[in-house]
Every structure is written in structure tokens, then in C-alpha cells.
Amino acid sequence: MSSSQPEAKVDVLIIGAGASAAAFAWSIADTRMNVLCLEQGDWTRPSEYPSTTMNWESDNASNSNPNYRRNAADYPINCDGSPIAVANYNGVGGGTVLFAGHFPRFHPSDFRVRSLDGLADDWPVDYHLLSPF
């Protein structure tokens, strides 16, 4: 920004424009706060989503693993210690650009995987608190 332009005041800075960033930005859109969302990747028009091409399944642009896809905004991710390969998209919309449209319903036990299964962490909220939403 040049010194002749007024500096905009930012109240909330959101890094990344994926699913959770968009939901959070939307949730505070009615406040009077100035919200700035910075995304390292580019915009993708829905008509140009990787999955709309004929060869999307074999086309590397649709590959959900950035280590193979290597788009300009991708960065290498070390999955050596992980039992699953990384799947993401780096651009406005984040992973939702490659989203499969599958909406599994949570179970109360999904919020307590540390206590019940010794995996990951328990959520700080439980199923019953979220179910009205």
C-alpha cells in the first residue's frame, strides 16, 4: 500500500479461505468488524473445478494429494508417519473444491475418541450441544 492511500484497519485476520475459514467469516459478517481473509491459492470458478473435465480422475490437477498434484499453491507434505495420505486443495474454498458431497452424521461417540478409543483428542463440546444446529 502506498503512503498516499489511507490504511485500512483490520479487526480480524483469517489465514486461509477453506471451509472453516468461510464459515467463521460468514458468522461474523453482520458485525461491524473489518475482516480480512488471506488465501495462498487462487480463485477457482465452479465451472472450472478440476472435476468438471472429462479426464478428471486421471488428470493430475484433480489429484487430492498435493505431493503429486504440485499446483502452484501446493506445498510438499511429509506423510511418512501417517497411515493415510494427505488430501487437500490449496485455493479459495480449500478442500471443498474437491469435496465429494458426502455428509456423514456424527455419533455421540465421535466427540470422545480419545476417551473411548485412545485416538486423537476429545472435542471440547459434545454431540448434544451441537445437534440443534
Q: Does 120 bind ligand FAD (CB under 6 A)?
A: no
Q: Does 19 bind ligand FAD (CB under 6 A)?
A: yes
Q: How far is the CB of 97 from ligand FAD (least distance, A)?
A: 8
Question: Which residue among 10, 12, 13, 15 contacts ligand FAD (CB under 6 A)?
Answer: 15
Task: Compute CA distances 129 → 40, 73, 108, 117, 133, whole Å.
Answer: 34, 37, 10, 21, 9
Q: How many residues bind ligand FAD (CB under 6 A)?
A: 27
* Cell digits of residue 50: 478440476
Question: Which residue among 6, 76, 83, 101 contacts ligand FAD (CB under 6 A)?
Answer: 101
In the chain, the amino acid numbered 110 is D
Question: Which residue among 25, 35, 56, 64 contacts ligand FAD (CB under 6 A)?
Answer: 64
First to last CA, the chain: 41
